[in-house]
Amino acid sequence: MGRTRRVFSSTVVAAPSRRTIVACHVCSSRNDTTYIEARGYRIAQCRKCGLWFVNPQPAVEELLQFYATYDDGEQWRNLEEHFNRGVRKAILQTKPSGRVLDVGCGSGNFLRCIKEAGFSALGIEPSNSGSEYGREAHGVDIYHGMIEDYLALHGGRSFDVVTLLNVLEHLTDPAGTLSQLWKVLAPDGLLVIVVPDARFHDLIGRLRRFVGVSDPYWIEQPKSFLSGFKLPDHLCSFQPRTIASLLRRCGFQVVTMESAPVVFNAGLGRNVAKLLMFWVSRALHFFTYRRIVIGYSTLVVARKVQHSIHLRSATNELC
C-alpha cells in the first residue's frame, strides 16, 4: 500500500477467477453500474452514493504480488517537502503536539517532518525498501508490515493523530481499517487523510472521450499524471461527498476539508500547472465560504466522535 507516490516496475498477473464481488465500501449497496473497463479490471460506480470502486476486487495474493515490486520514486523521496509541511500545518492548527501514527508512511519523509515540530511519530509501511530507506535516511521508527498485522500486535497503543496520506484508496476494506484506527485514536484524536479527487480525472477523461481519444482516462499507461483512477492499486476513487460519508459511517466528524498541498514533479511545466490549480481551488473554497472543494487531491481533517454520538448519527442517517 503506502503512498500513491510510487513507481511500479512490473505488470500484475491477473487472477480473475479469485476476485470477489464486493458491496460499496461507503454505503454497502450492491447496486452499481460499470464506469470503466481497462487492463482486465472493472471500475464500478455505486448507484446509491456515487463511489467509484474496483469490482470485482483483486484477490489478496494478486495485490501482494503487485506491491512486492512497489518502490518509492524520486518524486516522493525528494520533492514532497511542500506537501508534508502543508499537512503538518493543518495538524498544528488543532493539535500542537502528541503522538502521530502515519499509516503507509512510504520513505518516512512525513514522519521526519512531523517530528521536527515536536511530535513523536511511528510509521507503518508494507514496502521493505520504503521502510528501510526511512529508517536509514531519517532515523524514524517504522513498522514493516500491513496495517492489520500492526493493529493485531499493538492494538493497545494510543495516538493523538493518525494520518493516511494517499493511502485510503489502496485499501481492500477502507471502512474496516478506519473503524480499527478509531480504536487506537485517543479521545478527541484527529484523523488526517489525503486522497486524489477523482472528479478531476473524471472530467478530463470525459472530455478526452468526447473528442474520440483512445484510452481517455490514461488507465492503460501506469505513469499517467492523473491519479483519480489507477489500476489495480486504487481500489476506491473518492470525491469529497463520498469520503465525508465514509468518515461519518466509521465514527468521525469532518473538521476541515480543502484542496491538498502540492507534491512537486521534476518538470517545471507540471509544477506550474499544479500550483495554479491549487491556488484557484483554495480561492474558490474561500470565496464560497468553504462550500466548494475541488482540486487534484483532497485534504480532510476529521475528529474522533464518541460511540454514543456516532451511533445516534448513524441511526439518523439510516432513517
Q: How far apart are CA 45 and CA 36, in angstroms?
A: 9
Give the residue ranges of the chain where pLDDT is below 70: 1-17, 67-78, 222-225, 265-271, 307-319
Closest Cα partner for 317 from 247, 237, 240, 239?
247
pLDDT of residue 319: 30
pLDDT of residue 265: 65
pLDDT of residue 6: 36
Report the predicted TM-score, pTM, of the whole model to 2 decimal places: 0.85
pLDDT of residue 72: 47
pLDDT of residue 151: 86
